[in-house]
């Protein structure tokens, strides 16, 4: 059945892929994005030209602008965020304002306009912080070590309270490190541009042993589409990741090979963290997501190969 859907952050990396998929499935989409964080209308324009989507250059911190939107949405995908852990360390109030106050504004939009359902993009590694339970299940206490992780955890708590108080259906998807075509941030993107400047050497932040979960973008979008059909009353949480983990140095090895470089010399900035608030090891339990019929299809290494091809075409 076709739905009227609002997507916040719909011009970003994950959001633009999601909008493509929703429109392909026959849904009508309205996008809210303030076009910050290096985003543009590049991927949305085709849908605007075909009148299968509408765009509003709104900041999710502006509740008055949000309240001017239609009241007949069936569902909200809330992806808009300040996405950088490092920024959350240097500008904690800004991070809180966007990620917590902005999410509260979206929840208020649901309450005031009787929008019954929302899927919220949370974060898998940053909300758990450093734990000794691996793979980490959704039931594990949240112990963030970054302001970004704290903001995502706080937003989840508001999702829980709003779902309970106002009889809403909300799902929080704790996303791992999502990568693939259109991504313009993250370790792979950073390594690619460093190697383009000088393919004889590569500086790696920390000791290179940081090991985390990753998921290819197409598999991620399949999760969103799958959850869209499974959403139920209350607040539900899922870890969203692949089976695999990979270290930063292994990512460098895979990318160097995919790009066809030889004899690249690695150097390390030292310390176990790449930056303040960096969680050095993440491995999460995805059995809850598997139990409702989804499973990842693309290995991390295959995804890196595809992403490297896109990077070469995008930045010749």
Does the domain at 4-178+215-240 match CATH 3.40.640.10? Answer given as no
Q: What is the pLDDT of residues 141-197, one digit of tens each?
A: 999 999 999 999 999 999 999 999 999 999 999 999 999 999 999 999 999 999 999
The pLDDT value recorded for residue 71 is 86
Query: Of residues 128, 148, 214, 216, which has the active-site annotation?
Result: 148
pLDDT in tens, 89-132: 999 999 999 999 999 999 999 999 999 999 999 999 999 999 99
The answer to whether domain 184-212+244-279+297-314 has CATH 3.90.25.10 is yes
pLDDT tens, position by position, 190-242 = 999 999 999 999 999 999 999 999 999 999 999 999 999 999 999 999 999 99
CA distance 52 to 57: 17
Domains of the chain, residue spans: 4-178+215-240, 184-212+244-279+297-314
Residue 158 a catalytic site member: no
Do the domains 4-178+215-240 and 184-212+244-279+297-314 sit in the same CATH topology, yes or no? Answer: no
pTM of the model: 0.97
């Amino acid at each position: 059945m076709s739905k009227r859907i609002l997507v916040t952050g719909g011009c970003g990396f994950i959001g633009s892929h999601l909008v493509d998929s929703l429109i392909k499935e026959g849904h009508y989409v309205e996008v809210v994005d303030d076009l910050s964080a290096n985003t543009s209308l590049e991927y949305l324009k085709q849908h605007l030209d075909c009148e299968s989507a509408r765009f509003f250059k709104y900041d999710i911190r502006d509740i008055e602008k949000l309240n001017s939107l239609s009241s007949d949405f069936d569902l909200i995908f809330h992806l808009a965020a300040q996405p950088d852990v490092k920024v959350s360390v240097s500008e904690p109030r800004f991070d809180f304002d966007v990620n917590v106050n902005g999410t509260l504004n979206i929840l208020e939009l649901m309450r005031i306009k009787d929008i019954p359902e929302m899927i919220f993009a949370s974060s898998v590694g940053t909300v758990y912080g450093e734990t000794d339970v691996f793979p980490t299940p959704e039931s594990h206490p949240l112990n963030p070590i970054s302001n970004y992780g704290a903001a995502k955890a706080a937003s989840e708590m508001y999702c829980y309270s709003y779902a309970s108080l106002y009889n809403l259906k909300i799902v929080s998807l704790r996303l791992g490190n999502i990568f693939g075509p259109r991504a313009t941030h993250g370790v792979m993107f950073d390594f690619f541009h460093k190697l383009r400047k000088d393919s004889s050497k590569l500086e790696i932040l920390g000791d290179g042993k940081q090991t985390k979960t990753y998921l290819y973008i197409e598999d991620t979008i399949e999760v969103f589409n799958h959850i869209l059909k499974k959403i139920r009353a209350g607040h539900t949480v899922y870890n969203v990741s692949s089976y695999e983990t990979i270290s930063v140095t292994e990512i460098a090895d895979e990318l160097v090979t995919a790009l066809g470089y030889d004899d690249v010399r690695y150097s390390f900035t030292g310390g176990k963290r790449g930056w303040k608030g960096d969680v050095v090891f993440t491995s999460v339990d995805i059995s809850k997501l598997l139990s409702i019929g989804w499973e990842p299809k693309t290995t991390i290494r295959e995804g890196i190969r595809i992403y490297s091809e896109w990077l070469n075409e995008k930045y010749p």
